[in-house]
Amino acid sequence: MLFQAEGVTVCMVILESADWADRQALLDSLMRASALAGRVNRTYLVIPRSTASIVDARVFQGIGIGLFTYDQRNVEEALPARYFEAKEHAYNATASPLSTQLQTELHELRIQFDSLESIVRQLKEELASVREARTPGGVVRAVPQPNSAEAIGLASGLPGFLTGNPWVEVLSRRGREENTIAG
């Protein structure tokens, strides 16, 4: 992802959590980030916050690449990127094909999105007709969501392994009888 403002170009190479598990994808991203240093003014690697602890930041600090971490709520700059004088021609030379490629990808994505939208609409209609057929009164019961805390309150009856277990009787007499075998 490229940003341009006030004559400064910043490139962000974003790593998804899934990429993190794929050694090849990880290496590709690191190589891409490394190759961009000098072609843009600042280069950042953007990594999931949960994986940040296993990154040795000194390596990135050494080559001037910065680090952003993100989770579902925040994006933070963990390590600032060093400023490089960018060779403008190098960037411009690559800008055009990059832009064309992005436009093509955007177009393909739009087609896929339209197709998915139509499928979802169709599924919604089918679901509505099934609901109507199965609930003559038109009443649909809500399915309770699993929740560990709620489960405690909702659980009824005791677990099956307690049923018929002779120890329940033996142990319930503890403290009310003398035992001669205890070691």
Partner 1 sequence: MSGYKERYTFGMDFGTSDVKFGPITCGDAPKILHNRGYFPDRDSIMMRALNEAPEVVVGEDVPLYLQSSDDLSSRLIYPMRNGIIDRADDKAWRVVNEISRFGLRMFRPNPDEDFEGFCVVASISSVCPRYMYESLFDTMTEAAKEGLVKAITIISQPFAVAIGHGVTTCVVVESGHGNTQVCPISSYPIRSALVAVNRGGGEANSIAAEILKDLGYGDLAREEAFVRRVKENLGLLPLDLDRAVKAAKDSPSKFRARFKVPGTRVEIDFGEKSWQRFLIGEYVFNPRNELFQSYLTRGMPKPKDVKIGGAVFEGMIDFGEAIVRSVEKCPVELQPLLYKEILLSGGNFSWQTPEKLRDFATDAPTKMKTLLKEKGIKGVSVRMTKNPQYSVWHGCIIYGYAVPQDYGWNWERMEGWLPVAA
- Residue 71 contacts residue 51 (beta carbons within 8 Å): no
Nearer to partner 1, 34 or 61 (CB): 61
d(CA 143, CA 148): 16
Minimal distance, residue 108 CB to partner 1, in Å = 32
- Is 90:48 a contact under the CB 8 Å cutoff? no
CA 164 to chain centroid, in Å, comes to 46
Residues forming the site for partner 1 (CB under 8 A) = 49-58, 61, 69, 78-79, 148-153, 155, 158-162, 164-172, 174-176, 179, 181-183
Residue number, 50 or 101, with CB nearest to partner 1: 50
| 82 vs 63: CA distance, rounded Å | 8
Q: How far is the CB of 180 from partner 1 (least distance, A)?
A: 10
Alpha-carbon gap, residue 45 to 131, rounded angstroms: 48
Closer by beta carbon to partner 1, 22 or else 150: 150
Which CB atom, from 96 or from 148, has the smaller least distance to partner 1? 148
Q: How far is the CB of 8 from partner 1 (least distance, A)?
A: 23
| Residue given tokens 């960018």 in the structure block | 86
Q: Nearest distance from residue 130's CB to partner 1, in Å?
A: 31
Taking the C-alpha atoms of residue 26 and residue 69, their distance in angstroms, rounded to an integer, is 15
Amino acid residing at 49? R
* Minimal distance, residue 97 CB to partner 1, in Å: 35
Residue 122 φ then ψ, to 5°: -60, -45
Nearer to partner 1, 34 or 51 (CB): 51
